[in-house]
Amino acid sequence: MPEPSESESDSARAAALRELLGVERWERLEPWAVARVRVRCADVAPSVVVKWAEGGPVQGRDAGWRLRTEVAALRFLRDDVGIGLAPRVIAADTAAGFVVLEDLAPRTALDRLLRRDGAAAHGDRLAAFARALGELGAATAGRAEDYYARRAGLGPVDPAADRAGRLAPYRDRGIEHAVGLGVPPEAGAATEIGAVADELAAPGPFLALGNGDAEANNVLLHASGPADARLIDFEFAGYAHALTDAVCLHVPGPAWMTVGDPAEGPDLAGHYRRALARGVPEAEDDRRYGFGLAAACVSWSLIRMERFALLDARPPGDRSRPQLVATLEAAAHTARSHRALPHLTAWFQRIAALLRRRWPDADQDFTDPVRFPAYQARHAPSM
């Protein structure tokens, strides 16, 4: 959204904001449909963050749907659950297509700190991130009916689709790529794929609210001082298996080459699990927790495998190739560590071995903590 102006096509929205807040300064936070706004309204802080509906559909969800979901989720967390893990909604007009949020500055995104300083410098902030994810699951488990009553008040929503996850179709495409490479899942692995789908579709006590994108770029913390985390970007929020939020602590996400072995360095997995168990006692059951975590990690890695054709066409040296290998191997390691999904573990290892032969540039030792430290960024630092 451009700086408010009567000459712009969205002048009605701009006028509503001026009347609501008394805008003094407008700073667009590219490339997102987000701005930090200096206001003169006595009822709010000196600055707020404004998000608006912009752009076409993303993974089947149009901009209006995403904005309504964020408003419902943030109000649910503050007003119904009573936790302060996310920004407060100051005002919203979903019909006009905007929401005004609490400005969490001077907090900054954790991924920026990790890229700048490395994971070793921010172990306490990584731990705060892990705890926040667990606390979110603990506080919201068992309250799906309350959330969907609030969300339905803003427009249609499909709880079953939320449980399945918006990226679920990519999982099947990832399997198809493995078949095309000549590494189809054998009978045992195929059976376990079905068990993974069943676990994620019916999480039982692990059904909890997540923001739909639990990665280091969606948590804000102070660069120094107390490590009090705030989770952001709830545009794809919904009730799903809580352990899908823990995947980012075990398996590389889009930005990362590695996330490190949870057995080394800060006990991020432990911080998450202990926080979750305070609201979901079943998280203390090693078998149940381990199977759910393995299922979530395996599902995510198959979703990432969907990118195979794109990566295969890239030139040698592109870091997305070794990242895919690292993702598959990290998921296998997680499942093996929890004595879960042995057939899928072996299948993942076969796929990774084939990719190492196909892409010699990806044949690297990702367990080397010197060459590949925890949370090593896949892209060059942006700050």
Q: What would the pLDDT profile of 338-356 be if each residue is shown by its tens digit?
A: 999 999 999 999 999 999 9
Q: What is the mean pLDDT of the segment spanning 182-211? A: 97
Q: Which two tokens stand for residue 192?
A: 């376990």
Under 8 Å CB-to-CB from 99, ≥6 apart: which residues?
A: 50, 51, 52, 67, 70, 71, 89, 91, 92, 93
pLDDT (average), residues 98-120 = 94
pTM value > 0.95: no
- Are 115 and 383 in contact by the 8 Å Cβ rule? The answer is yes
Share of the chain above pLDDT 90, in %: 77
Q: What pLDDT does residue 44 have?
A: 67
Residues 200, 299: contact at Cβ < 8 Å? yes
DSSP 211: -
pLDDT surpasses 90 at 381: no
pLDDT band at 265 (very low <50, low <70, confident <90, very high): low
Q: Output helix, strand, coil percentages for the chain, rounded to the nearest 5.
A: 50, 10, 35
The mean pLDDT value for 15-34 works out to 76
179: closest CA among 332, 360, 343, 306?
306
H helices of 254-378, where?
268-277, 286-305, 308-312, 320-337, 342-358
Using an 8 Å Cβ cutoff, are 24 and 39 in contact? yes
Q: How many helices (H) and strands (E) does the chain have?
A: 13, 10
Q: How confident is the model at residue 8 (pLDDT cuts 50, 70, 90)?
A: very low
Structure confidence at residue 2 (pLDDT): 44
Q: Where are the domains of the chain?
A: 11-102, 108-362
pLDDT for the residue numbered 225: 78
Q: What is the mean pLDDT of residues 99-106?
A: 94
Question: What is residue 4's predicted lDDT score, i.e. its pLDDT?
Answer: 42
Mean pLDDT in residue range 141-168: 95
DSSP 61: B
User: Across residues 220-227, what is the average pLDDT?
Assistant: 88
Calculate mean pLDDT across residues 145-170.
Answer: 94
Q: Does residue 9 have a pLDDT over 60? A: no
Using DSSP, state whether 209 is helix, strand or coil. Answer: strand
pLDDT of residue 227: 83
pLDDT over threshold 70, residue 106: yes
pLDDT value at 85 more than 50: yes
Length of the chain: 383
Lowest mean pLDDT among 8-22, 124-138, 179-193: 8-22
Look at residue 269 in the predicted model and tell me its pLDDT: 95
Q: What are 279-320's pLDDT values in tens digits? A: 999 999 999 999 999 999 999 999 999 999 999 999 999 999
Beta carbons of 246 and 203 less than 8 angstroms apart: no
pLDDT exceeds cutoff 60 at 56: yes
**Residue 285 C-beta-side C-alpha neighbours within 13 Å:** 10
Where does the pLDDT of residue 30 fall: very low under 50, low under 70, confident under 90, or very high at 90 and above?
A: confident
Whole-number pLDDT of residue 54 = 86
290 Cα distance to chain centroid: 20
Lowest mean pLDDT among 22-36, 191-205, 282-296, 301-315: 22-36
Output the six-digit token pair for 13: 């929205």
- Rounded Cα distance, 291 and 289, in Å: 6
**Joined tokens for residue 362:** 């990806």
Neighbours of 304 (CB within 10 A): 24
Residue 248 CA to residue 215 CA, distance in Å, equals 6
Domain topology for 11-102 = Phosphorylase Kinase; domain 1 (3.30.200)
pLDDT at 370 (0 to 100): 86
Give the whole-angstrom CA distance, residue 112 versus residue 383.
7
| pLDDT computed for residue 29 by the predictor | 85
Rg (CA), the chain: 21
From the centroid of its chain, how far is CA 181?
29
Q: What is the pLDDT of residue 14?
A: 59
The SS3 assignment for 220 reads strand
Domain boundaries 108-362, CATH class: alpha beta
Angle at 105 between CA 102 and CA 106, to 5 degrees: 160
pLDDT at 77: 98
Cβ partners under 8 Å of residue 135, min gap 6? 83, 85, 275, 276, 278
